[in-house]
C-alpha cells in the first residue's frame, strides 16, 4: 500500500501551485469513464464545503462541457475580466458549485482538436496558468488516457499533490492502468489510489451487485502493485445518461448508490491528502 500522503502543492518548489491540492485524474486507456469520475468526484468534494475547480484537459475528447450542460455557443461571457500585471486571465465558468475550464470551450463541439505538440503545450499552459482560478482547495485535472506528450508536459509544468487512476473491472483496463501507474511513479507524482468504475450492476430487485465483466485475477489487478483501492462505483445507465443531459447523477440523484460511492471516495481522497495527526 502507498504510504500516507500529506504533500501540499505549495510545498513543492519551482512550479506554480494552482490550488491547495492539485489532483490528476488519469487512466491507461479510454472508455473507463474517467471524465464521469472526475466530474462527480469534484461535486462530492464540493459538497463538503471545499472550493473545487475542474480542468478538462482532454484535448482529444473534452466532454465535461456536455456533462454540465454548457456549450461554447451558450456561454458568451468575457473571459478576460481579470488581469495579472499585463497578462489577461480567462475567467472560468461556475456550474453546480464548482469552477470549470475546458479545452472544449476553445472550439466548437464538432470541431476536432488537430494540434501539434508545441501548440498543444502552449494551449495547456493557457488553461492552467492563465486562468483566474481563485483560491481553490482542490483542482481536479481530467487528463486524456495514456501517458503521451500532454500528460508529460503537465507533470513538468505543475505541482501535483497526487494522481487518482481510473480502471474498470476488465483485464485490459488494469493492464493499461498499471502502465500509467508506473509512469507517474517514475515522475515522482504521489499515487493517491485507484477507483474501479462500472464495478458490477446493482440488481434492481435485491440490490446485490451482478458482475458484468469477468473479475480480474488478483495477481493481474492494479491492486497487486500496492495501489490503494479508493472505492468502486456501480454500473448504472443513469450515470452516463445524466451526463449526456447536462445534469450529473450526483446532482440529479444525490441519494443513488453511485452518488454515495463518490461521497465515500471523496472522503478517502481527503484522508489521503490530510497531514498526519500531531497526537
Q: Please check the confidence at residue 257 and state whether its pLDDT lies above 50.
A: yes
**Given this model, what pLDDT does residue 175 score?**
95
Considering the entire predicted model, what is its pTM?
0.87
Q: How confident is the model at residue 3, as a pLDDT?
A: 39
Q: Using CB atoms within 10 A of its CB, is residue 74 exposed (0-12), middle (13-18) or buried (19+)?
A: exposed
The answer to whether residue 224 scores a pLDDT higher than 60 is: yes
- Indicate if the pLDDT at residue 193 is higher than 70: yes
DSSP-derived 3-state class of residue 108: coil
Q: Report whether 177 contacts 165 (CB < 8 A).
A: yes
pLDDT at 34 over 70: yes
Q: Three-class SS of residue 15?
A: coil
pLDDT for 4: 37
pLDDT at 266 over 90: yes
Over residues 254-264, the mean pLDDT reads 95
The whole-angstrom separation of Cα 72 and Cα 277 is: 45
The predicted model gives 168-174 an average pLDDT of: 93
User: Considering the chain, what percentage of its residues have pLDDT values greater than 90?
Assistant: 48
Q: What is the pLDDT of residues 1-16, one digit of tens each?
A: 443 333 333 334 456 6
Residue 227 pLDDT grade (very low, low, confident, very high; cuts 50, 70, 90): very high
Q: Which tens digit of pLDDT belongs to each residue from 61-113?
A: 888 998 998 866 655 454 545 556 666 688 888 999 999 998 888 766 666 66
d(Cα 190, Cα 172) in Å, to the nearest integer?
A: 23
Amino acid at each position: 500500500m502507498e504510504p500516507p500522503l500529506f504533500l501540499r502543492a505549495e510545498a513543492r518548489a519551482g512550479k506554480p501551485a494552482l490550488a491547495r491540492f492539485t489532483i490528476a485524474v488519469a487512466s491507461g486507456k479510454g472508455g473507463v469513464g474517467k471524465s464521469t469520475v472526475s466530474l462527480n468526484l469534484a461535486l462530492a468534494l464540493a459538497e463538503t464545503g471545499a472550493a473545487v475547480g475542474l480542468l478538462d484537459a482532454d484535448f482529444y475528447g473534452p466532454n465535461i462541457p456536455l456533462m454540465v450542460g454548457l456549450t461554447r455557443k451558450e456561454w458568451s461571457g468575457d473571459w478576460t475580466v481579470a488581469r495579472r500585471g499585463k497578462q489577461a486571465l480567462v475567467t472560468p465558468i461556475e456550474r453546480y458549485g464548482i469552477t470549470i475550464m475546458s479545452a472544449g470551450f476553445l472550439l466548437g463541439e464538432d470541431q476536432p482538436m488537430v494540434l501539434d505538440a508545441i501548440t498543444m503545450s502552449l494551449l495547456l499552459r493557457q488553461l492552467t496558468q492563465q486562468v483566474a482560478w481563485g483560491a481553490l482547495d482542490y483542482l481536479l485535472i481530467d487528463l486524456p488516457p495514456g501517458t503521451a506528450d500532454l500528460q508529460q508536459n503537465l507533470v513538468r509544468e505543475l505541482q501535483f499533490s497526487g494522481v487518482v487512476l481510473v480502471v474498470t473491472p476488465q483485464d485490459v483496463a488494469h493492464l493499461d492502468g498499471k502502465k500509467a501507474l508506473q509512469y507517474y511513479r517514475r515522475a515522482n507524482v504521489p499515487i493517491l489510489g485507484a477507483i474501479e468504475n462500472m464495478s458490477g450492476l446493482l440488481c434492481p430487485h435485491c440490490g446485490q451487485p451482478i458482475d458484468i465483466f469477468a473479475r480480474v485475477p488478483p495477481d493481474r489487478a492494479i491492486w497487486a502493485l500496492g495501489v490503494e483501492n479508493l472505492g468502486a462505483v456501480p454500473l448504472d445507465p443513469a450515470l452516463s445518461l445524466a451526463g449526456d443531459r447536462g445534469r450529473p447523477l450526483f446532482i440529479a440523484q444525490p441519494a443513488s448508490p453511485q452518488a454515495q460511492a463518490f461521497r465515500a471516495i471523496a472522503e478517502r481522497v481527503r484522508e489521503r491528502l490530510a497531514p498526519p495527526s500531531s497526537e
